[in-house]
Chain A
Amino acid sequence: MTPVEIIAAINAAITLSKNLYTLYAQVMGDQPIPTWDELVVQNAKLQAKIDAEKEG
């Protein structure tokens, strides 16, 4: 593995841990489950990035 691939793998592992923890915490009641309106906001944020990429 190259150093870049190692860093990417570490980043991916951290991302996976964070995502799994978020889902676990939501189900266990430690974190609030997002409302539909909050999900709309998250969706709009990604859409803005996609649109910027399409235009750029």
Chain B
Amino acid sequence: MYKKSIVIGICLLFVLASCATFQDKWNGLQQNEKARVIVGGVQKELNDLFDIGKAYVDANPDKKEMWKGQVVPAFDTANKTIAAYIVFIGKGEATPEGAVNTLFPLLKSVVNLLASMGLDMQTIENIIGGVE
């Protein structure tokens, strides 16, 4: 029991130290670098969601109409907005707050459509993690 408490204590200290280090590193990044980390993360998640949505529709052909009519256009809008953000704002005065405020609602709208198409919400949540 005593040994177990020591192991748990060491693990907790390690986790706390890792979090503090991560926070320090994050605080040390420039605004533009933070924005690029966020935009890159959102872009990757959008890409993964598209692949999973496509795989889901391939396995469920009855969902194809909604996929083509609503979900793909939503991906199109989201991706083009990211492109516009990169070109017009990203290369200028990009901030992490601006990236979050601009891009997260797009991700949310795509997620909502995927969920309404019938894709398992737990699967989507596992992909997007704590983004919402």
A34 at the binding interface (Cβ < 8 Å): yes
> Which A residues are in CB contact (< 8 Å) with B40?
22, 26, 33-34, 39, 42
Chain A residues whose CB sits within 8 angstroms of the CB of B120 once the complex forms: 5, 8-9
Are A53 and B83 in touch, CB under 8 angstroms?
A: no
Are A42 and B47 closer than 8 Å at their CB atoms?
yes
**In terms of DSSP, what is the predominant structure of the interface of chain B?**
helix
Residues of A within 8 A of B29 (CB): 27, 33
What is the size, in residues, of chain A's interface with B at 8 Å between Cβ atoms?
Answer: 34
Q: Is the interface of A mostly helix, strand, loop or mixed?
A: helix
11 more A-B residue pairs beyond the given contacts A13-B126, A40-B87, A42-B40, with a C-beta to C-beta distance below 8 A: A5-B120, A15-B126, A16-B129, A19-B45, A19-B127, A22-B44, A46-B75, A46-B79, A47-B79, A50-B76, A53-B72
Q: Which residues from chain A sit less than 8 Å from chain B, CB to CB?
A: 4-5, 8-9, 11-13, 15-16, 19-20, 22-24, 26-29, 33-36, 39-40, 42-47, 49-50, 53-54
